[in-house]
Amino acid sequence: MSKPLNRRLFLTGTLGSAAAVALAACGGGEEEPTVAEVDTADFPEGSTMAALAEAGTLTIGTKFDQPLFGQAGPDGNPVGFDVEIGKIIAGALGIAAGDIKWSETVSANREPFIENGQVDIVVATYTINDTRKEVVDFAGPYYEAGQALMVLIDNEDITGEDSLAGKKVASVEGSTPAQYILDNHPDSELVSFDTYSNCVTALINGQVDVVTTDNVILAGFVAADEENLKLVNDGETFTTEPYGVGLAKGDDDFRTFLNDTLQAAYDDGTWAKAWEDTAGVVLPTPEPPAIDRY
């Protein structure tokens, strides 16, 4: 009945210790992205940028439970690639990393958070899609992920999305991967928890058969526990998930500004550095995706 639980604390090998050092470092915030010397007058009067720069603070919605992208660090603030992107954007507005207010967004409340103005932007492994574009706008994408499957290391019978029939599939309620399972694999049983870490715990406990979400999120969990977890087919993806920065619908000036900021980060290498400091410790550095200025 009892399954040996050995989720390793230490990542084994050189990769692991590099990861530990790098993540500890970015948690400590020693190397913050540069903050631009910004004058409010640089921005068009009445624009969102001017208002934010004037206020000197930016509220960003992100996840607190996703290794490599956004996870609560020792001081309670999140660390990860999404967080670094948020800092780059804040920097371009002349706002220091310390003046950012981080707000935890769970999958189901990202659109309402933007619509109701609880947050200024959302950087939270947030897939750009048409349904969401009806209520919010997106800058980016700043990264392109894809949905994949994760199982226990000794699992042989799940070989891809075609073998999900009759299986208990865990994901987070309100996320795109959960919706994909509902729409495309109605013969499997979707079990939804409210955080990915709870999904992983349920997988290790044997309460579910497989966890599905974006490959990069799963890669973070596998990296932290290589003894027990593995990606199905080396992380084969079956969807494309472009991550965007969510903002209020119709704020085109702000969207252009965000897109310009991301483009500048691609060009001057800050984007690549942000990746290498966070997700890059376990994943290869990709080419930045082309920005979609729709």
Summarize as ranges the residues that interact with another protein (CB under 8 A): 1-3, 5, 7, 9-11, 19-20, 23-24, 27-28, 64-65, 67, 71-76, 79, 103-109, 111-112, 116-118, 131-132, 134-135, 170, 173-174, 178-179, 190-195, 197-198, 200-202, 204-208, 221, 224-225
For the beta carbon of residue 188, count every other beta carbon within 10 angstroms: 20
Residues 279/84, Cβ–Cβ less than 8 Å: no
Closest to another protein by CB, 99 or 194: 194
What's the CA gap between 282 and 11, in Å, rounded? 10
Indicate the residue among 5 and 153 with the shorter CB distance to another protein.
Answer: 5
Cβ 158 to another protein shortest distance, Å:
19
| 3-class DSSP assignment, residue 122 | strand
Residue 37, φ and ψ in degrees, nearest 5: -75, 105
CB of 213: closest distance to another protein in angstroms? 15
Nearer to another protein, 128 or 224 (CB): 224
Q: How far is the CB of 267 from another protein (least distance, A)?
A: 31
Rg of the Cα atoms in the chain: 19
**Cβ-based nearer residue to another protein, 107 or 237:** 107
Between 16 and 146, name the residue whose CB sits nearer to another protein. 16
For 32, list phi and psi in degrees, rounded to 5.
-90, 150
State residue 134 phi and psi, 5-degree precision: -70, -25
- Smallest distance, Å, CB 138 to another protein? 15
Task: Report in angstroms how near the CB of residue 188 gets to another protein at its nearest.
Answer: 13
Judge contact between 8 and 226, C-beta under 8 A. yes
